[in-house]
Structure 1
Amino acid sequence: MYTISAILSHVHAEASTIFDATLPIYELEYDSRKIRNGAHSLFFALKNVRDGHEFIDDAYHKGVRSFVVSRVDIDKSRYAQTNFIEVKDVLLALQELAAFHRRQFKKPVIGITGSNGKTVVKEWLTQLLQDDKRIYQSPKSYNSQLGVALALWNLSDDYDCAIIEAGISLPGEMALLERMIRPDIGVFTNIGLAHASGFSSKAVKLREKLELFKHCTDVIFNSSYALDDKLVPTMRTFRYGARAEDDVRVLRMEENGRGSTQIQLAFQNEIATFSVPFQDKASLENVLLCITVLLYFGYPLDTISLKLRKLKSLDMRLQLKKGKNNSSIIDDTYSNDLASLQIALDFLYQQQQHKKKTLILSDMEGLDEKLRNKLGTLMERQLLDRVILVGSGLSFLKAHIHAPVQLFESTEDLLAGLKDTTFENESILVKGSRAFHLEDVSQFLSAKSHETVLEINLKALEHNLQVYRSLLPVGVKMMAMVKAFSYGSGSYEVANLLQFNKVDYLTVAFADEGVELRQHGIELPIMVLSPDEQAFDLLIANRLEPEIYSFRILHAFLEFLADKRIKGFPIHIKIDTGMHRLGFLPEELDELTTILQQVRSVHVKSVLSHLVASGSEEHRAFTEDQIRRFAAGADRLETQLGYKFLRHIANTSAIVHWPGAYMDMVRLGIGLYGVDMDGRLALDAVSQLKTTITQIKRLPAGATVGYDRKGVLFRESRIATVKIGYADGYSRRFGNGVGEMQVNGQLVKTVGSICMDMCMLDVTDIIAHEEDEVVVFPDLRKAANAIGTIPYELLVNISSRVKRVYFYG
């Protein structure tokens, strides 16, 4: 806690208007949607994709009375009894405050950087050290310029050690992170391809990452990266590797049965052999680094061996899954601390598909009086309908929770009690540390389905939205396409995230898609592309706005509205400027406006058209002509109707190629889901289709595989059967070696015809076991090209029987 007066002394303010300099600040906020303790929050009006100054009103109405701003045009008279701190750079001010707070922490701080493995190493080190030390770790992947500052704010002397992760994507960023973190001990994971596009060379990227360590006393790393000559000469190093001079020598590594590896190490005058439950190169590198850190801290080899037995692979993603009885399960069961609990609660409130909110929470490691007070304060601010606590150490929370509370001594007791507990039509956050195995609770509550799953990364989708938003000028609205089950990614789960991120409009193909969104709490305006006459009543009942593209559909809708005596219902007029699919031709607009002038039952909300080839340079002249014809048609409609409406013609490709076509609103489709048809943007993959190996068999040369004996083996082969077929959306065109899947990082081809529920792969040349995970489309665009189609078709054809698993991370 710091007062406004103290904060002023540690940020470079250009000016300030202070009402109460003694006001205590407990929370730093930058997102008005997540404010829970407004009276004691300091709101930073960051200028990123969205200008935080636009949300000062919202934050003020949620109780915030202290702001850090950079714009001088704010009318402060509108905000009574409020503190304003004016700075040149709001993010820099936040970082200055975080750096000051970090300097108050006198215990060791470990700084972790590298291209890959940062978050895994951080989490594993916390697992390995927490039995003996109270560890503070930056939550999840809070490793950016903003994330590190927020992570450091929660650092306190309640902890014995802090582990802070630092990630960069551009030159100059690490110096800013180093000023905040100022680590005492450095841990370097590796140097790889991640974010390579931001740096002129691998050497430049390495030099930038090592900037984090410039004030460290010691740096721990793999000797194969040869960092010694790149570090400050006075800095001590502690290395592992195969060289004789390494502090920790790796003598031998070999697979030891299914899924595990034996590692033999030499340290000082001792040799020890460890068994770890991993075989992939990345996990083994991360484990070796963790072992080296523990040896650096003085742990004996036999103690480390015992600790490693508890080590588990991490699914560090906050998952959103379909639950039983129309519930939604938010599974966040790999760690439990105050910071990650707040993040998970924010995600719970973000879900609008169910009004009822339930929290299942396990005890936390090392809850002393200070942390209990903080946890109690956090829980007092929550608006929950039901709370289930696991572990006697949480009994004190009953006095802090404004909802019915159930307390179970153990996870086993909870699982037994769940049989008599009803969960229905609610969002349930399951949050617990690994020791409590709440993943068993999540599994019990989740709906059972086909084992082939489509994993959907909501954070990646959010990232892609912001990438496209960053291209738009202020004032241009965003319409997001969620038709066709959100391009296979799910309906209300995706729409809910878009609503939380304040897109302006959603678009569906048919009325029933819009009805489902309304039933799950989506309040955004929704445009229906293909309104059916039989579903007009659904449009009205669910506030769905039809696209009107022909005189037939217009007359039918006007007649329906007249019967219902409805006035001013919003509609969207489509003009056909060259697609020749749906829409009024330009020569039909005069007749159209004559009809619209005579009725009061509808109000034109927008006028739109569809570009045919906005991503094609070859058809540039045609696109220019489409935009010109649309603008002329919209002008005629506006003049004759006598009022303004929104105009939109720019689709995903046009957002990139045609800034002149932005007009009032753009329509974002396939790019939102991570498919960059233009190859110009740094989009994240949103979905990944996965299945598992059911059986592996060895067959002789000459044997045939599958229907009609299409798969002929020309050598002795190992054939794996996997749980996906054409009923799941994996096209029969992928049969007979056309399709490729990925098993344990290796590409393998299909064998024989694709069956309804299964297909076969040739795994002769790779390491593969039954029940191994299989990535169905390692490269979506390559897969689409292989069967002569486009990524859209592969995504939307994934069957609804394939379980969608959502995660945020």
Structure 2
Amino acid sequence: MTIETLYEHFLKCKSVCTDTRNISENCMFFALQGGNFNGNKFAEDAIKNGASFAIIDDIEYKINDQYLMVDDVLIALQNLALFHRKHLNTPIISLTGSNGKTTTKELVNAVLSKKYKTTATKGNLNNHIGVPLTLLSMNNTTEIGIVEMGANHQKEIEFLSNIALPDYGLITNFGKAHLEGFGSIEGVIKGKSELYQHLKVNSKIIFVNHHDELQIKQVGAYDHIEVFGSKTQLLESQPYLSLSYEQQTIKSHLTGSYNYNNVCVAIALGEYFKVSTKDIVDAIENYIPSNNRSQIVNQNGHQIILDAYNANPSSMLAALSNFNQLKNENKVVILGDMFELGETAPEEHQHISDYTSDLKLKNAIFVGENFYNIKSKNSNSNYFKSFEDLNAHFGNFNFNQQLFLIKGSRGMALERVLNLI
């Protein structure tokens, strides 16, 4: 089937779906395959539940003309997204980085949606499947598209950029994330900077914070740069972040000074796209973080900084540094393993453990095999091999009106600790 024919069918549909649990009326279902599943087997269910078409790559599952055969469903999804992107008269902003991508994307969307009809990546659907799905969720009414791009190896950002074809781009930061795939911090910088290379080759606009010398160095000599960050000043981050902007004080619901740059990005893009100062301030002040990202939760007399969506050595150190500055004598950290660090995992977990032991904490709790394997004899530190082990012993701590920091990689799912506190 040609991409032109597939596109004609796509235009007849209201949406695109890859999961039969989320089928909606008149959607186009893509029967993706994975290591443990064959989406072709679910094509019939998708049609029965309201899908207009099912895109399959196994002739055995073709029942009638609603089942559209392609050579490879994933490649068809990606090619359709690129074809659609080329037909959209919509400016696309792409962003990547080691930390803060999703929060930054949400802030940018909050600001720009004050003036424009925006379509942004949902959640963190930022990979080789999520980016195409984001693009295919846009239509001719979308005035600005915001596409988050994640990567754990070289050439992935390049690949995603060649699908999204961004007009504007930015990198939140370079940090020690996905070292198993990137190999080193130098590998991270090279991989993330593939977005810069794409934008430069196509003479598109790059946004870069004037405080970030490393990023400015990576951009190099280039004519289409928007430098930002000089109009704002960090005022406070205990526990909520506030900053000055245009002779006003913005009081956010975000915790941590590490979110300051994320807010600056949203302000810069708001200014560039001529959103009023009032609307920029209003959007940031009314943005409330969710999904376990920099949330502040008050529960049973405790205050909890819940930052359990993900973690890597850079974001962990930033969170601990910020937590250390908070004025409270009853501070407890509950930290989970950091994943995808490869052979550097023992060293990086040891570094976090050592750093934590130097802080004035009531207690430090480490969860996961990586931390357990490097456990120290610090009297204030407790190590548990799994969440189940922590669960079995949590009642022994007898916490009373504590300030908690909870952080770990997604696979640790440390938001479950809320049920224990």
TM > 0.5 between the two? yes
> How far did residue 177 of structure 1 move?
1.1
What is the aligned partner in structure 2 of residue 794 from structure 1? Answer: 390
* In the alignment, structure 1 residue 8 sits paired with structure 2 residue 5: yes
Contact 1:456 1:804 in 2 (8 A): no
Describe the SS at the equivalent of 1:106: coil
> How far did residue 155 of structure 1 move?
0.7
Indicate how the Cα distance of structure 1 residues 107 and 28 shifts in structure 2: closer, same or farther if over 3 A, else same. Answer: closer
> How far did residue 166 of structure 1 move?
1.0
The structure 1 residue matched to 2:43, chosen from 44, 56, 69, is 56
Contact 2:24 2:51 in 1 (8 A): no
The structure 2 residue matched to 1:83, chosen from 48, 67, 74, is 67
- Opposite residue 795 of structure 1, the aligned amino acid is N
TM-score (norm 1): 0.38
The structure 1 residue matched to 2:15, chosen from 22, 27, 35, is 27
> How far did residue 90 of structure 1 move?
2.0
What is the aligned partner in structure 1 of residue 168 from structure 2? Answer: 185
**Please, which runs of 5 or more residues in structure 2 have no aligned partner?**
312-322, 335-351, 376-380, 400-414
Indicate how the Cα distance of structure 1 residues 109 and 168 shifts in structure 2: closer, same or farther if over 3 A, else same. Answer: same
> How far did residue 796 of structure 1 move?
2.7
- 1:742-763 residue CA offsets vs partner (Å, 9 max, x unmatched): xx9984333xxxxxxxxxx7xx
What is the aligned partner in structure 2 of residue 777 from structure 1? Answer: 365
**Please, which runs of 5 or more residues in structure 1 have no aligned partner?**
12-20, 242-247, 265-270, 320-333, 335-442, 461-673, 675-691, 697-717, 725-739, 751-760, 762-775
What is the aligned partner in structure 2 of residue 450 from structure 1? Answer: 300
> Using the alignment, how far apart are the partners of 1:262 and 1:23 within structure 2?
45
* In the alignment, structure 1 residue 749 sits paired with structure 2 residue 361: yes
Q: State the superposition RMSD in angstroms.
A: 4.8
> How far did residue 783 of structure 1 move?
7.2
> How far did residue 798 of structure 1 move?
3.6
The structure 2 residue matched to 1:720, chosen from 330, 345, 349, is 330
| Rg (Cα) greater in structure | 1
> Using the alignment, how far apart are the partners of 2:109 and 2:82 within structure 1?
23
> Using the alignment, how far apart are the partners of 1:793 and 1:306 within structure 2?
48
* In the alignment, structure 1 residue 317 sits paired with structure 2 residue 301: no
Indicate how the Cα distance of structure 1 residues 284 and 305 shifts in structure 2: closer, same or farther if over 3 A, else same. Answer: farther
> How far did residue 98 of structure 1 move?
0.9
The structure 2 residue matched to 1:198, chosen from 177, 181, 203, is 181
> How far did residue 150 of structure 1 move?
1.0
Describe the SS at the equivalent of 2:365: coil
Describe the SS at the equivalent of 1:36: coil
Indicate how the Cα distance of structure 1 residues 805 and 294 shifts in structure 2: closer, same or farther if over 3 A, else same. Answer: same
What is the aligned partner in structure 2 of residue 105 from structure 1? Answer: 88
> Using the alignment, how far apart are the partners of 2:36 and 2:303 within structure 1?
32
Indicate how the Cα distance of structure 1 residues 30 and 129 shifts in structure 2: closer, same or farther if over 3 A, else same. Answer: closer
> How far did residue 143 of structure 1 move?
0.9
Contact 1:178 1:212 in 2 (8 A): yes
- 1:781-801 residue CA offsets vs partner (Å, 9 max, x unmatched): 657955687444322334599
Sequence identity (%) = 20
- Opposite residue 797 of structure 1, the aligned amino acid is H
- Opposite residue 34 of structure 1, the aligned amino acid is N
> Using the alignment, how far apart are the partners of 1:94 and 1:157 within structure 2?
19
> How far did residue 206 of structure 1 move?
2.4
> Using the alignment, how far apart are the partners of 2:161 and 2:278 within structure 1?
33
- 1:200-256 residue CA offsets vs partner (Å, 9 max, x unmatched): 333333233232342352100123244455448555111235xxxxxx366x54449
Q: How does 1:130-209 map to 2 (within 5 A)?
A: 130-209=113-192
TM-score (norm 2): 0.67
> Using the alignment, how far apart are the partners of 2:236 and 2:80 within structure 1?
49
> Using the alignment, how far apart are the partners of 2:149 and 2:55 within structure 1?
25
> How far did residue 130 of structure 1 move?
2.4
Describe the SS at the equivalent of 1:131: coil
Indicate how the Cα distance of structure 1 residues 790 and 57 shifts in structure 2: closer, same or farther if over 3 A, else same. Answer: same
What is the aligned partner in structure 1 of residue 271 from structure 2? Answer: 295
> Using the alignment, how far apart are the partners of 2:291 and 2:239 within structure 1?
25
Indicate how the Cα distance of structure 1 residues 261 and 22 shifts in structure 2: closer, same or farther if over 3 A, else same. Answer: closer
Contact 2:29 2:43 in 1 (8 A): no
Contact 2:13 2:28 in 1 (8 A): yes
> Using the alignment, how far apart are the partners of 2:67 and 2:384 within structure 1?
58
Q: Which has the higher contact order (CA 8 A, sep 6+)?
A: 2
Q: How does 1:102-501 map to 2 (within 5 A)?
A: 102-213=85-196, 214=198, 215=202, 217-223=204-210, 224-228=212-216, 230-231=218-219, 235-240=223-228, 248=230, 253-255=234-236, 259-263=240-244, 272=247, 274-277=249-252, 280-298=256-274, 303-304=276-277, 307-308=280-281, 310-312=283-285, 314-317=288-291, 450-451=300-301
Indicate how the Cα distance of structure 1 residues 274 and 221 shifts in structure 2: closer, same or farther if over 3 A, else same. Answer: farther
Give the length in aligned residue pairs.
359
- Opposite residue 294 of structure 1, the aligned amino acid is G
Q: How does 1:546-585 map to 2 (within 5 A)?
A: none
Indicate how the Cα distance of structure 1 residues 310 and 163 shifts in structure 2: closer, same or farther if over 3 A, else same. Answer: closer
Q: More helix by proportion, 1 or 2?
A: 2
> How far did residue 287 of structure 1 move?
1.7
Indicate how the Cα distance of structure 1 residues 450 and 93 shifts in structure 2: closer, same or farther if over 3 A, else same. Answer: same
Q: How does 1:33-44 map to 2 (within 5 A)?
A: 33-37=21-25, 40-44=27-31
